């Protein structure tokens, strides 16, 4: 479903954020990407819906290459929940933010309106639909950002630090939501317990490279590997 082949990327200021990164995600699988701050995780996943384009190497989503001329197709296939909900929500009214993607992709407006309502109700946000997203709590913004992406029915869902603003109850809600999705999922998180609960395979990144990969439970139990890469065992393993 997703192939990343030897992708490298530098920012305009010269920071080399990705060096020869390769990975493969099978359709329907749920993959975690972990690593210390600055390891390149966000830079990598921001490529998966064409937000960034590879400067060298190649990325495909369901056989479609991530490049400028395919962006419309790529955005239909892959939805990205950004690390910061403020990058996702920019309209004056929450409801318009949820409807923005479907409108942009030319999806059926009536169906999208029904689905927006359902998602907003499921996330306890329906009563807040006329509010500016900037006035929502961080947790509400997080679910709003999810709604804005899920309403487009992506085959690939990419999430960057999805639990960072959530209280324990909402974190549990997100775990069951993510587990129940049929989509191919890629999750970046420092919350290794969340990765444990939702991912079958894990990649460890450090300094712009993939340094390890394997079955989630195996890698997430490897204290030496995690500590060598600025991480700690999931809380469940620390007991
Ligand atoms: N817009 C940017 N301009 C320049 N450097 C950046 C930018 N965004 C991130 N970086 C740098 O790229 C590297 C990887 O960052 P990032 O992908 O955000 O890491 P992570 O998500 O793993 O914390 C870091 O060294 C970071 O400082
Ligand atoms: Mg990041």
Q: Domain of 41: which CATH number?
A: 3.40.50.300
Q: State the pLDDT at residue 239.
A: 73
Tokens 């999208």 correspond to what residue? 112
Residue 18: strand, helix, or coil: strand
Closest atom of ligand 1 to 40 CA is 17
Pocket flag, ligand 1, residue 42 (CB < 6 Å): yes
Pocket flag, ligand 1, residue 55 (CB < 6 Å): no
Pocket flag, ligand 1, residue 37 (CB < 6 Å): yes
Number of domains in the chain: 1
Which residue lies with its CA nearest to atom 7 of ligand 1? 11
**Cβ pair 67, 97 in contact under 8 A:** no
| Axis-axis angle for helices 168-180, 138-150 (nearest 10) | 10
Q: Tell me the CA–centroid distance for residue 227 and ligand 1, in Å.
A: 21
235 assigned to some structural domain: no
Find the domain containing 12 and state its range. 2-230
Which residue lies with its CA nearest to atom 21 of ligand 1? 42
Q: Tell me the CA–centroid distance for residue 146 and ligand 1, in Å.
A: 23
Which residue lies with its CA nearest to atom 12 of ligand 1? 17
At residue 54, what are phi and psi to the nearest 5 degrees? Answer: -60, 135
145 assigned to some structural domain: yes
Pair of tokens at residue 44: 């990598």
Pairing of strands 30-34, 184-188: parallel
238 assigned to some structural domain: no
Closest atom of ligand 1 to 35 CA is 22
56 assigned to some structural domain: yes
Give the residue from 54, 70, 66, 72 showing the smallest Cα distance to 6.
Answer: 54
Report the residue among 16, 17, 82 best suited for mutation to probe ligand 1: largest number of ligand atoms under 8 A from its CB: 17
Q: State the pLDDT at residue 110.
A: 96
Which residue lies with its CA nearest to atom 14 of ligand 1? 40
209 assigned to some structural domain: yes
Pair of tokens at residue 30: 């749920």
User: pLDDT means per 10 residues in the chain (239 residues)?
Assistant: 97 97 97 97 96 96 97 95 92 96 93 96 96 94 96 96 91 93 96 96 98 98 96 91
Q: Where are the alpha helices (DSSP H) in the chain?
A: 41-45, 71-77, 94-105, 109-122, 138-150, 168-180, 192-198, 216-219, 223-228, 235-238
> Which residues contact residue 196 at a Cβ distance below 8 angstroms, ignoring those fewer than 6 apart?
216, 217, 220, 234, 236
Radius of gyration, alpha carbons of the chain: 18
82 assigned to some structural domain: yes
**Angle, CA of 179, 182 and 185, to the nearest 5°:** 70
Pair of tokens at residue 57: 């190497």
236 assigned to some structural domain: no
Q: Tell me the CA–centroid distance for residue 15 and ligand 1, in Å.
A: 8
Longest distance between any two alpha carbons in the chain, whole Å: 53
What secondary structure letter does DSSP report for 22? Answer: E
50 assigned to some structural domain: yes
């Amino acid at each position: 479903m997703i192939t990343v082949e030897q992708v490298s990327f530098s920012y305009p200021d010269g920071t080399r954020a990705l060096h020869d990164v390769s990975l493969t995600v099978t359709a329907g699988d749920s993959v975690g990407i972990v690593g210390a701050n600055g390891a390149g995780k966000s830079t990598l996943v921001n490529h998966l819906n064409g937000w960034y384009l590879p400067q060298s190497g190649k990325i495909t989503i369901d056989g479609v290459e991530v490049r400028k001329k395919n962006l419309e197709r790529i955005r239909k296939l892959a939805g990205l929940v950004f690390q910061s909900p403020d990058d996702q929500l920019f309209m004056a009214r929450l409801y318009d933010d949820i409807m923005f993607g479907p409108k942009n992709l030319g999806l059926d407006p009536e169906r999208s309106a029904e689905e927006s309502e359902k998602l907003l109700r499921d996330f306890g946000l329906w009563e807040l639909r006329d509010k500016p997203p900037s006035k929502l709590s961080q947790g509400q913004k997080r679910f709003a950002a999810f709604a804005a992406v899920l309403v487009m029915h992506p085959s690939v869902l990419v999430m960057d630090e999805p639990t960072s603003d959530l209280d324990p109850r909402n974190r549990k809600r997100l775990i069951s939501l993510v587990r129940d999705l049929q989509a191919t999922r890629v999750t970046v998180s420092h919350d290794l317990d969340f990765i444990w609960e939702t991912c079958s395979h894990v990649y460890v990144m450090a300094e712009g490279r993939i340094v390890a990969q394997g079955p989630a439970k195996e890698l997430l139990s490897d204290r030496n590997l995690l500590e060598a890469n600025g991480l700690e065992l999931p809380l469940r393993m620390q007991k």
